[in-house]
Amino acid sequence: MPRGFSDFVMNFHFDPLLLAIATPLAVAVAIMLGLPKRHSIRLAYVGFGVPALIALWCWANFPADAGVKYAFFNRYSTGLDGLGITLALGLNGISMPLFVLAGLVGLAAGLYAIQSTAERLKIYLMLLLIMQAGLMGVFASVDVFFFYFFHELALIPTFIMVGIWGGRDRNYAAMKMTIYLTVGAMLSLIGLIAIYVKSGASGQTFDLIMLREALAADPIGVTTQKHIFGLLMFGFGILVSLWPFHTWAPLGYGAAPSSAAMLHAGVLKKFGLYGLIQIALPLLPEGAKHWAHLLALLALGNVLVVGLITIAQRDLKQMLGYSSVMHMGYAFLGIASFSVLGVGGVVLLMVAHGLSVALLFLLATSVQQRAQTLDMTQMGGLASKTPVLAAFFAAATLASIGLPGFANFWGELTIFVALWHYSAWMTVAAVAGVVISAVYGLRSVASVFFGPPTAALEEVTAAHPVTDLSWREKIPALILLTALLVVGFWPKSISTPLDSTLGASFRMLDAPRLSAGR
C-alpha cells in the first residue's frame, strides 16, 4: 500500500534504492545552499561513493531467480496518487546491471571531477551530483512517470556542462544536443502517455507492474501498438543516436568535459535502449514485431555507415564519439531479433559499452593533457613516456573491439547468435563491424602511443615534460577496467538474473492473448 511521508518516517527501514538517489541529490542541494568549497569536495566523495556502494550491495544480494518480480521494492505516496503517480522503486534482472553501471561510472566520473582543475568546481560537482541522482533514479524506477522524470533530471545538467565547461564548438554542440534530445524526449513522452491512456488499467496508473498485468489480460490493439511503438522507437532511438539521427552525439561528446561525457555516453545514453526493453517490448509486442525489420536496417547504418565514418576520424574524441554511435547499432540489432538471447545480449553490451566508453573518454582527456592536442596525426611514441596510460588505453580499446576476457565480448557474441536466427545476411554485415572496430581502434593505439613521435609532439614535450598517469587518474580508470574484467570472466553474475527476468517476460508474451484489444 502507498505510504505517506509521515508513515515512512515513523516506520523507517533501510531502503537502498531511495538512499542511492537521495544522497547525491542532498549533497548537490547542500552545495547549492553555499557550503564552503572544502566541505563541498569532501561531501562530494560521499555523494558519488554511496550510490556505488549501494549498487554493489544490490548486485551481491540480488536473487538469481527473481523472474518478473522486483527486488528491494518499495512504494511511496507522492500526493498525486489519484493520477496514478507513485514513487515505486525496485530492481529486476534487467534494471539491476544498469543500476550497477550507473553507480560505478558515476563514482569514476565523480572522482575524476573532484581531482580536476575545472573552474567553478563547486558548481561543476553540483551538476554532476544532480546528474548522478537522476541516473540512479532512472534504473530504480518502477513507475513510468518517474522513469521519465529522472531522465530529464539527469539530462538538463548535461546541456549546462557542455555549454560552460565544454571544449571546441561547445555552444554549437550544446544547442544541437538540446534540439535533438528534446525532440527525442518529446516523442518518447507522447508514446508513454499513449500507453497510459490505452492501458487496461483505465489510465489510472503509471506503475509498470500494474500496466504489464493489465495489458497481459487485455492487450492494446495491433494497429495502435504499431503507432505507439513507432513513436517510442524513433523517440528513444534519437536519444540513443540511432542512424541517421546520430549527428548530435559525436559533436556533443567531443565538446563535453570528461566527466559529463563519461556519464552521458556511458550511462544516460542507455535510457532509450532500456526503455525499449523494459517498457516497449513487453507492453507492445505486436508493435515491436512490425517495426523490427526497419529497426534492424537502421541499426546496420550505425554499424557500417557510421563505422566507416569513424575510420576517417583524426580527432581522438571525435573518433570515440562516432565509435560509441556505431556500437549502439549492435544493441538495436539485438532488440530487433526479439528473443531472450538477443535482448539479454543487449543488456550485457549496454553494461560493457558503458564501462569501456567511459574509460576511453577519461583516458582521451589524459592523452590530450599530455600531448596538448587531440589530433592523432600530431602524436606518436607516447608509450615510452607513459607506459601505464598506454596499457590502460590499449586494454580499453581491445575491450571495445570485443576481445574475449572483457564484458563486451559476451554482449556482442550473444547478439550475433540471436541475430543469425533472425537474418543470416544481417549477421554477416554486423560481424563486418568487428573488423571496422579493429581497424580504427588499433590504428588509434598505434598513432598515439607507438612509432616515432612527431615534430609537433617533441616540441610540446620539450616545453612541458610528459609524466605518466597520476593516482587521481589511475583510481577511476582501475574501477572501470576492473568491472570490465569481472563481468568478462564472470558473466553469470549478470546473465543469470537477467535470463530469469527475460525468460519470464517472454513467456508472458507467448501466453494466449485476447485478440479484441483497444
Confidence class for position 294, pLDDT limits 50, 70, 90: very high
Question: What pLDDT, on a 0 to 100 scale, did the predictor assign at position 82?
Answer: 65
pLDDT of 512: 41
Secondary element (H or E) of residue 76: strand 71-80
The answer on pLDDT for 358 being more than 90 is yes
Q: Residue 508: its pLDDT value, please? A: 64
| 254 to 328, 331, 371, 436: CA distances (angstroms) | 17, 22, 16, 21
Q: What pLDDT digit, counting tens, does each position of 476-518 carry?
A: 999 999 999 999 999 998 888 888 888 877 766 654 443 334 4
Is the predicted pLDDT of residue 5 greater than 50, yes or no? no
The per-residue pLDDT for 394 is 94
Number of C-beta neighbours around residue 120 at 10 A:
11
Instruction: Produce one character per residue of 419-443: b if its CB has 16 or more CB atoms within 10 Å, e if not.
Output: beebbeebbebbeebbebbbebbee
Residues 14-47 pLDDT 10s? 789 999 999 999 999 998 887 777 778 889 899 9
| pLDDT, mean of residues 178-205 | 82
Nearest to 132 by CA among 358, 329, 337: 358
How many CB atoms sit inside 10 A of residue 110's CB?
27
- Residue-wise pLDDT tens digits, 310-345: 999 998 999 999 999 999 999 999 999 888 899 999
The mean of the pLDDT values for the chain is 86
Q: How many secondary structure helices (H) and strands (E) does the chain include?
A: 23, 2
- pTM across the whole model: 0.90
C-alpha cell at 8: 515512512
What DSSP string describes 190-209? HHHHHHHHHSTTTT---BHH
Q: Which positions ≥6 away from 285 have C-beta within 8 Å?
A: 225, 338, 509
- One-letter amino acid at 451 equals G
pLDDT in tens, 375-399: 888 888 888 888 999 999 999 999 9
**Whether the Cβ atoms of residue 422 and residue 337 lie closer than 8 Å to each other:** yes
Q: Is the pLDDT of residue 127 over 90?
A: yes
Q: Which helix (H) or strand (E) holds 146?
A: helix 144-165
DSSP 98-135: HHHHHHHHHHHHHHHHHTS--TTHHHHHHHHHHHHHHH
**Cβ–Cβ < 8 Å for 113, 130:** no
What is the distance in angstroms between the CA of the first residue and the CA of the last residue of the chain? 29
For the chain, how big is the Rg over CA atoms in Å? 22
pLDDT of residue 309: 93
In this predicted structure, the answer to whether residue 203 has a pLDDT above a threshold of 60 is no
What mean pLDDT comes out for the span 87-106? 93
Tell me, what's the pLDDT at 2? Answer: 46
User: Could you give the CA distance from residue 257 to residue 262 in angstroms, rounded to a whole number?
Assistant: 9
Where do the domains of the chain lie?
Answer: 16-510
The mean pLDDT value for 70-83 works out to 77
